[in-house]
């Protein structure tokens, strides 16, 4: 028996700083990564397609994303590959539990395209025959009302007696978390008590193949990097087989959209040719297909900072990359208030001036986002707006 396991595809992801055409292209890239998993399942004649939540990035995705997934799930069904889904924390309305609240996956279950285990309070199970082997596929959706000191599988049971037992969940697993967490996690003890062969769990975007007692733990991770915080993460999915030799899992890589992050220190910007130097550094790292974050970092005098043409740097980065984000973390070598030609000038006023330059150079459909960022920066700084 061969099963494909994926999760955390996050279709319909929203990026506030992207222009509409960029956002459309980015969403297409994210959707196509999910499509590649389906295509692989069909090409490899898989027996099961298992999804561990966060298929979408929100509980109310736009129609194109919902329709795209429907088409791919129909392809699986037409090729005789049953699909099983659960609802993740991004898919599920935040204040609902149990089977309450409508998730975008519900429509696939309603039209009998996929089996969706909607309940977040108890484990649901479906048993089927795969080449003469009795397989129990179970699932429990994410419960947004659980506290950080609760264990979502504690006290739960799988009501099935099969040759192979598989459980789908959407929580971090003990010893495989994204740093410190204040969320409920799946404990070792709760896994041991379930007596299952395979636990497939989404939510953590870092893939892993672990072992807890007699249970194989598969964390498929994401199929695309959602942001720069995941720039070093692998992207892909798992395929596992169950036979006389036990469970054997293999990770299949997917190529993500290129991302690059770079920092230019203040020391490189203290000269008369600061703009030229910054443009050269940024230009050498640019690529038309990539998402690029450039950070200016360190301390400059006000005069040194004014020699740097931030607008020119911004325009070049935006025209040379699929997406460009300029993070200005430069601090001034001055006190909070300074005198210029006998006048009093504050850093708040300087922030307003620079924000005005950025807004002036922005496209019409970006100006509102720039204004929102300006308000947030000034609010965080504590100055008047």
Distance CA 290, CA 261 (A): 10
DSSP string over 100-156: -S--TTHHHHHTTSSEEE--SSS-EEEEEEETTEEEEEEE----TT--TT--TTTT-
Quick one: 248 and 282 in the same domain? Answer: no
The length of the chain in residues reads: 385
- Residue 187 and residue 48 in one domain: yes
Q: How many domains does the chain have?
A: 2
Comparing CA positions, the residue from 296, 234, 284 lying closest to residue 260 is 284
362 shares its domain with 243: no
Same domain for 156 and 98, yes or no, is: yes
- The CA-atom distances, in angstroms, between 324 and each of 101, 210, 318, 320 are 37, 37, 5, 8
Output the domain CATH number for residue 162.
Answer: 3.60.21.10
Tell me 56's DSSP state.
B
What is the per-residue pLDDT across 213-270, written as a single tens digit (0 to 9) for each? Answer: 999 999 999 999 999 999 999 999 999 999 888 999 999 999 999 999 999 999 989 8
Identify whether residues 211 and 326 lie together within a single domain: no
Which residues, including other chains, have CB under 8 Å from residue 351's CB and lie 6 or more apart? 374, 377, 378, 381, 383
Residues 66-114: tens digit of each pLDDT: 999 999 999 999 999 999 999 999 998 876 655 556 899 999 999 999 9
Q: Given a cut of 70, is residue 385 above it in pLDDT?
A: no
Backbone angles phi, psi at 187, to 5 degrees: -85, 160
> Which residue segment(s) compose the domain that 84 sits in?
2-253
Are 49 and 156 members of one domain? yes
Q: Flag whether the pTM goes above 0.75.
A: yes
How far, in Å, CA of 152 to CA of 60, rounded? Answer: 25
**CA neighbor of 274 nearest in space, from 235, 342, 330:** 330
Do 231 and 289 lie in one domain? The reply is no
Q: Which residue has the higher pLDDT, 335 or 54?
A: 54
Residue 147 CA, distance from chain mean position = 22
> Tokens 């991302």 identify what position?
259
**Statement to judge: residues 43 and 128 lie in one domain:** yes
């Amino acid at each position: 028996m061969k099963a494909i396991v994926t999760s955390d595809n996050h279709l319909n992801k929203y990026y506030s700083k992207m222009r509409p055409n960029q956002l459309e292209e980015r969403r297409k890239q994210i959707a196509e990564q999910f499509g590649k998993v389906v295509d692989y399942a069909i090409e490899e004649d898989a027996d099961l397609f298992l999804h561990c939540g966060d298929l979408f990035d929100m509980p109310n995705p736009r129609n194109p994303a919902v329709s795209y997934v429907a088409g791919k799930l129909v392809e699986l069904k037409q090729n005789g590959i049953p699909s099983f889904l659960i609802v993740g924390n991004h898919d599920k309305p935040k204040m609902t539990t149990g089977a309450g609240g409508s998730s975008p996956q519900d429509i696939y279950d309603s039209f009998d395209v996929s089996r969706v285990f909607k309940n977040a309070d108890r484990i649901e199970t479906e048993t089927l025959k795969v080449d003469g082997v009795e397989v129990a596929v179970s699932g429990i959706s994410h419960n947004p009302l659980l506290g950080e000191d609760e264990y979502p599988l504690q006290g739960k049971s799988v009501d099935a007696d099969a040759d192979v037992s598989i459980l789908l969940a959407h929580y971090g697993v003990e010893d495989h978390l994204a740093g410190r967490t204040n969320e409920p996690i799946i404990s070792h003890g709760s896994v041991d008590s379930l007596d299952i062969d395979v636990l497939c769990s989404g939510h953590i975007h870092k893939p892993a193949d672990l072992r807890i007692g007699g249970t194989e733990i598969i964390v498929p991770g994401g199929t695309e990097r959602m942001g720069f915080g995941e720039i070093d993460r692998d992207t892909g999915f798992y395929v596992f087989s169950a036979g006389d030799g036990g469970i054997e899992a293999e990770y299949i890589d997917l190529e993500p959209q290129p991302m690059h992050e770079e920092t230019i220190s203040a020391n490189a910007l203290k000269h008369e040719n600061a703009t030229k130097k910054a443009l050269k550094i940024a230009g050498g790292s640019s690529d038309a297909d990539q998402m690029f974050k450039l950070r200016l970092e360190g301390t400059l005098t006000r005069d040194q900072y004014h020699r740097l043409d931030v607008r020119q740097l911004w325009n070049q980065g935006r025209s040379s990359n699929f997406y460009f984000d300029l993070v200005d973390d430069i601090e001034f070598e001055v006190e909070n208030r300074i005198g210029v030609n006998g006048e009093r000038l504050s850093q708040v006023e300087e922030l307003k001036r620079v924000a005005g330059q950025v807004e002036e150079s922005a496209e019409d459909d970006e100006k509102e986002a720039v204004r929102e960022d300006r308000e947030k920066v000034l609010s965080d700084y504590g100055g008047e707006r």
